[in-house]
């Protein structure tokens, strides 16, 4: 009999080992897996789906239910106009004996009903329960669609029915789309982690109190295993949101250990109700797809290669626009005002520069399709030349042009030279091949920071 050795690569963390062990235990004990997805519980006025998830998880754990792996925070298509504030959905997996499943469902549904901003018209929560050990390829494809494109409530309902998932809609129940997508996203290719600390109810809506120097120290100690803690140009703290949501701070990083260690350095100057670590598609570029210009569509986020066909110019509002072309067409690219110093890099581009651009396309029927730049890679900077008038061969003075194609003359000694006597000088460009990104303050949740490419 042949003995086979299976090598798990990358080597499982202790948490993953526990999860593998857990699968064996649940098989023995006839436990069932329950995947739970939640979305669209927040509004511009408050709440956050990550908090609803954190409370539901805490309540389940207090009753003795255990989570399988890390809960997931899945960011959805950032270009969609119907999106909620941060457009994130959450999902987590628990295992329980069959007869306990109804209790779990009840706790989750009650938590959503209690915490969701149901009084706000645009908040339409959805909860999905999926009892199955396998996330099907179709569920994964649906998840990808919701991150990169748009899916309807009807599509979500049809897929849920097909795979036998249970659908709970609050009001219009638009959240079932993200809830099902969060379950279906298995974070197989790339992922990051975020540790989120929540405020106690009496502090929500008030200015966040956090010791600034402790955040700087945390960044010094843990960057780049954590990232986007500070904006390097302005020194602005980026771990605290500016919305009325219950989050005090969120630390993003490569591993659960890194974000946990980082949080131990951060001094909060107000009480923390609870913390949670989510595994997430933030900072992974999962929203992007490589396309030719003619294929680009509103609501997509794209990677396009092309040549600058119209040099950058600044429009009212401080936005910088240029045009890019490939063999299929042309498209506008924009570095909007909030991208600040990134615009200075874009302004250095000239016609004929070869680029790879990354960014989202918002649906704006009144305007030509425009890529809202997240990153630019200069593949090849075009050579730039400058004409220089010749020097007078007799007295050495720089000669003056007599007009287009009329040659040159020396003002001092009246010597003349014919047209074509000028020197063509190649000018050193102030930008060369390389990758450039918007600052953290303007970065999309899903956009992969360049530092992750360098380190990872």
Q: Which residues here bind Zn ion, judged by CB under 5 A?
A: 392, 394-395, 397, 410, 412-413, 415
Query: From CA 88, how far away is CA 282, in angstroms rounded?
Result: 10
Query: From CA 259, how far away is CA 272, in angstroms rounded?
Result: 16
Token representation of residue 257: 């250990």
DSSP code string of 298-349: TT-EEEEEEEEEEEEEEETTTEEEEEEEETTEEEEEEE-GGGTTHHHHHHT-
Min. distance of Cβ 421 from Zn ion in angstroms?
13
Min. distance of Cβ 413 from Zn ion in angstroms?
3
Nearer to Zn ion by C-beta: 97 or 397?
Answer: 397
Nearer to Zn ion by C-beta: 248 or 410?
Answer: 410
Helix (H, G, I), strand (E, B) or coil at 88: strand
Place of tokens 């303007």: 442
Min. distance of Cβ 395 from Zn ion in angstroms?
3
Phi and psi angles of residue 112, each rounded to the nearest 5 degrees, phi first: -65, -45
Nearer to Zn ion by C-beta: 136 or 415?
Answer: 415
Angle between helical axes of 101-115 and 49-62 (0-180°, round to 10): 140
Nearer to Zn ion by C-beta: 135 or 410?
Answer: 410
Min. distance of Cβ 314 from Zn ion in angstroms?
41
Angle between helical axes of 175-184 and 153-163 (0-180°, round to 10): 50
Comparing CA positions, the residue from 271, 269, 241, 268 lying closest to residue 47 is 241
Min. distance of Cβ 386 from Zn ion in angstroms?
22
Query: From CA 134, how far away is CA 32, in angstroms rounded?
Result: 12
CA distances from 39 to 355, 374, 409 (A): 37, 26, 75
Min. distance of Cβ 407 from Zn ion in angstroms?
14
Q: Are 442 and 373 in contact (CB under 8 A)?
A: no
Min. distance of Cβ 344 from Zn ion in angstroms?
41
Min. distance of Cβ 409 from Zn ion in angstroms?
9
Nearer to Zn ion by C-beta: 196 or 392?
Answer: 392
Nearer to Zn ion by C-beta: 294 or 413?
Answer: 413
Q: Is 376 exposed, middle or buried (0-12, 13-18, 19+ CB in 10 A)?
A: buried
- Listed in sequence order, the residues at least 6 apart from 188 whose beta carbon sits closer than 8 Å to its beta carbon are none
Min. distance of Cβ 388 from Zn ion in angstroms?
16
Nearer to Zn ion by C-beta: 17 or 416?
Answer: 416
Nearer to Zn ion by C-beta: 131 or 415?
Answer: 415
Q: Are 98 and 57 in contact (CB under 8 A)?
A: no
- Listed in sequence order, the residues at least 6 apart from 355 whose beta carbon sits closer than 8 Å to its beta carbon are 305, 306, 307, 308, 324, 349, 376, 377, 378, 379
Nearer to Zn ion by C-beta: 413 or 419?
Answer: 413
């Amino acid at each position: 009999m042949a003995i086979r050795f299976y090598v798990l690569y990358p080597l499982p963390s202790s948490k993953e080992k526990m999860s593998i062990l857990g699968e064996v235990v649940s098989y023995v004990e006839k436990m069932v897996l329950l995947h739970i997805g939640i979305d669209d519980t927040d509004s511009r006025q408050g709440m956050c789906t990550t908090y609803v998830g954190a409370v539901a998880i805490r309540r389940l754990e207090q009753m003795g239910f255990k989570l399988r792996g890390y809960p997931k925070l899945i960011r959805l298509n950032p270009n969609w106009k119907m999106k909620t504030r941060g457009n994130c959905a959450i999902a987590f997996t628990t295992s329980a004996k069959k007869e306990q499943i109804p209790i779990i469902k009840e706790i989750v549904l009650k938590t959503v009903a209690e915490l969701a901003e149901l009084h706000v018209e645009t908040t339409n929560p959805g909860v999905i329960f999926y009892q199955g050990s396998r996330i099907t390829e179709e569920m994964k494809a649906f998840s990808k669609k919701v991150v990169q494109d748009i899916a309807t409530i009807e599509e979500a309902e049809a897929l849920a029915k097909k795979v036998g998932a249970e659908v709970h809609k609050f009001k219009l129940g638009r959240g079932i789309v993200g809830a099902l997508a969060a379950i279906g996203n298995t974070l197989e290719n790339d992922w990051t982690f975020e540790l989120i600390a929540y405020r106690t109810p009496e502090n929500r809506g008030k200015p966040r109190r956090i010791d600034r120097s402790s955040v700087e120290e945390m960044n010094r100690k843990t960057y780049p295993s954590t990232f986007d803690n500070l904006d390097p140009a302005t020194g602005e703290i980026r771990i605290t949101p500016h919305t009325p949501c219950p989050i005090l701070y969120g630390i993003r990083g490569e591993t659960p250990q890194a974000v946990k260690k980082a949080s131990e350095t951060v001094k909060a100057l107000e009480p923390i109700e609870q913390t949670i670590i989510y595994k997430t598609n933030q900072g992974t570029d999962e929203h992007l797809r490589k396309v030719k210009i003619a294929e680009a569509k509103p609501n997509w986020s794209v990677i396009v290669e092309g040549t600058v066909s119209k040099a950058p110019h600044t429009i009212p509002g401080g936005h910088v626009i240029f045009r890019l072309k490939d063999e299929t067409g042309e498209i506008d690219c924009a570095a909007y005002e909030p991208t600040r110093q990134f615009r200075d890099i874009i302004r250095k581009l000239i016609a004929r520069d070869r680029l790879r651009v990354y960014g989202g396309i918002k649906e704006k029927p009144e305007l030509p399709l425009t890529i809202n730049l997240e990153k630019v890679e200069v593949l090849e900077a075009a050579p730039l030349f400058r004409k220089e008038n010749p020097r007078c061969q007799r007295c050495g003075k720089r000669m003056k042009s007599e007009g287009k194609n009329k040659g040159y003359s020396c003002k001092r000694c009246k010597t003349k030279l014919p047209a074509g006597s000028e020197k063509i000088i190649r000018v050193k460009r102030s930008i060369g091949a390389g990758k450039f990104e918007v600052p953290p303050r303007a970065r999309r949740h899903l956009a992969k920071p360049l530092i992750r490419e360098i380190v990872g």
